[in-house]
Amino acid sequence: MDFSEQEEEENNHNQRSNNKPSSSSSSSSSSSSSSSAGAAASSSSNRQSSSGNSGSRSGGNSVNNNNNNGSSSSDDDDDDVEVEKASGYEEEEEERDLFGSDNEDYVNTPSVSPIPVPTLPPIRNTNHQTRGNFGRGRWQSGFQNGRGNGLLPRPAHFNQRQNYGYGRYSNVRQDERFVSEMKFLKTEETLSRKCIAFQEPCEVACYSRVEDGDVYFDDRSLRLFKRLISEDVGADLNEGFETFIAKRDLASEGFGNLLASIRNKNIPLQNIHFVTFRNNLNKILATAYIRNEPWEMGVHKRNGVVYLDVHKLPERPQSDLDRRRCYWGYCFENLATEDSARADGEGIHHIDANVEFCSVIKTKLGAHRIIMGAEMDCCDSTDDGRRFYVELKTSRELDYHTEERFEREKLLKFWIQSFLAGVPYIVVGFRDDAGRLVRTERLRTKDITHRVKLKNYWQGGVCLAFADEVLCWLYGTVKENEDYILQFAQPFNRLELLQAPSCPEVIASHVQQL
């Protein structure tokens, strides 16, 4: 074979060698130790392919060089490093110990900072200056902590807080009579979602009390409403105050009259849950919104029936103005009713607040059947002769500042009292500060809730739902032949059931006569 044929044979061999990139790639990847070996190998292969092609054009020395491409050499390693640096990929730098002795910054940093710790100014608690020694500090009132006096009471009897705190000692009770409590945990929104059925009241009995205090089981003391009451606008409600006979405190005697009327009509009590005066239910329903008026009542369970007795709380001594304002209400009742004993044009005199007519009503609130006594002011009749009762009220003339309170509180009480007894109409006599009748207004009981609902003051359904919660808790808590006192007192966030010493004689006697 001559020299030209040998050179052509070697060129063909080099050409076939340059057409195998996989072998070059594997050679480069074995010589590289970095994580980017694949990219470096590809660049190395292209570099070698280029040099191979140039070698094939340059002559015999290049041919000998390309024949040794299949083996690993130091020259190939140097080429790979150069390719990696040119491509921007460098080997990972060895990790350093930041807290080692070779870190100058760490070694030269002092252990104690030369910069002083800033001191905050003392905080002065000026929000509760009238709370005495109850601040956010220790229990000791003289503890100087720079933040004012303590909020929490000392761990001992503290009359000012009545043991109703919010700290560690909030549940300590000094009253040994305590039996149970019902906390007001449900919001108005939650109660408004409950739909409590209330059965239409039905009168099952009645009784009358006359001037000398005798009681009759009829309606002789019931008065007739005077429809032309608007003609008396301008009348002086102070007339007859000197001869006024105030109402006596009957204590449990009044409840005895209610029980006697039940026995007189032989009303069965086997399926009855509560026997009470309407006044007690008024208090329970109104507590859904009015949380600042204390009250209490007696609770006595006999033969499955819970008797709620009225308890009158001590009141401050009445001034002459207080007695006059009370009399204005009785005087308006006398003006708004027909009085056969008073001749036309005769003045008002000798008003006796002890004369009353009481209707005995049967109804059902939720799952509880109730018999209650309700004093009625007067009655009227429809064109077909059906009798209905009318509630008479007095109030100070309204202005811009007093209208909201009237609708929030007084209308709430007016509605509860009339709704529970099924009274369809309320006649309000508005008077001035001197006791002169300014105007009269007739309200329909069912329209009152619509009037206040538009202003979002209160909801009748919330009152019924709250009363149902109370009656369920009360009936399920009291025990047979046990006596209790149900009270609503400060801090006005719960109802408390206390043990009572005894049962009133009128209830014990009533149970024996059944």
Which tens digit of pLDDT belongs to each residue from 19-42?
544 444 433 333 333 443 343 334
Say what the pLDDT of residue 51 is: 42
Say if 36 falls within a structural domain.
no
Question: 49 or 121: which carries more pLDDT confidence?
Answer: 121
- pLDDT attached to residue 315: 86
| Domain, as residue range, for 270 | 178-513
pLDDT value, residue 125: 55
| Domain assignment of residue 105, yes or no | no
Q: Which amino acid is at 365?
A: L
The percent of residues above 70 in pLDDT, for the chain, comes to 70
Token pair 């006359």: residue: 210
Mean pLDDT confidence for 4-14: 57
Question: DSSP state, 112?
Answer: S
In a domain, 91, yes or no: no
For residue 386, the model assigns a pLDDT of 93
CA 378 vs CA 18, 96, 238: distances in Å: 122, 100, 21
SS3 77: helix
d(CA 50, CA 14) in angstroms, rounded, equals 12
The per-residue pLDDT for 499 is 96
pLDDT of residue 102: 76
What does the pLDDT look like over 41-94, one tens digit per residue? Answer: 344 444 444 444 444 444 444 434 444 444 444 455 555 544 444 444 445 556
In a domain, 140, yes or no: no
Q: Residue 103: its pLDDT value, please? A: 78
Contact between 248 and 354 (Cβ < 8 Å): yes
State the number of CA atoms in the 13 A half-sphere of 29 facing the CB.
11
Total of domains in the chain: 1
Other C-beta atoms within 10 Å of 318: how many? 12
Angle at CA of residue 185, ends 184 and 191, nearest 5° = 90
Nearest CA to 177 out of 494, 502, 498, 501 is that of: 498
Tens of pLDDT along 453-484? 889 999 999 999 999 999 999 999 999 999 99
Q: Which residues are CB-neighbours of 35 under 8 A, at least 6 positions away?
A: 92
Question: Does residue 237 form part of some domain?
Answer: yes
Mean pLDDT score, 181-187: 95
Neighbours of 417 (CB within 10 A): 22
Among 107-111, 179-183, 253-257, 390-394, name the one with the lowest average pLDDT: 107-111
Contacts for 75-79 with beta carbons within 8 Å, 24 or more apart? 76/27, 76/28, 76/31, 76/44, 77/31, 79/44, 79/47, 79/48
3-state helix, strand, coil in the chain (%, to 5): 35, 20, 45
**pLDDT for 265:** 96
H helices within 336-444, ranges in order?
403-405, 411-421
- Where is pLDDT greater, at 113 or 231? 231
330: pLDDT strictly greater than 90: yes
Top pLDDT among 73 and 414 is at: 414
- Whether the predicted pLDDT of 328 surpasses 50: yes
**Percentage of residues in the chain having pLDDT higher than 90:** 59
d(CA 421, CA 331): 23
* Greater pLDDT, 3 or 257: 257
Tokens of 374: 């309700």
Cβ distance 466 to 187 under 8 Å? no
In degrees, to the nearest 5, what angle opens at C-alpha 112 toward C-alphas 108 and 115?
A: 105
Indicate whether 268 pLDDT > 70. Answer: yes
In a domain, 190, yes or no: yes
Q: pLDDT tens digit string along 344-394? A: 666 787 899 999 999 999 999 999 999 999 999 999 999 898 999 999 999
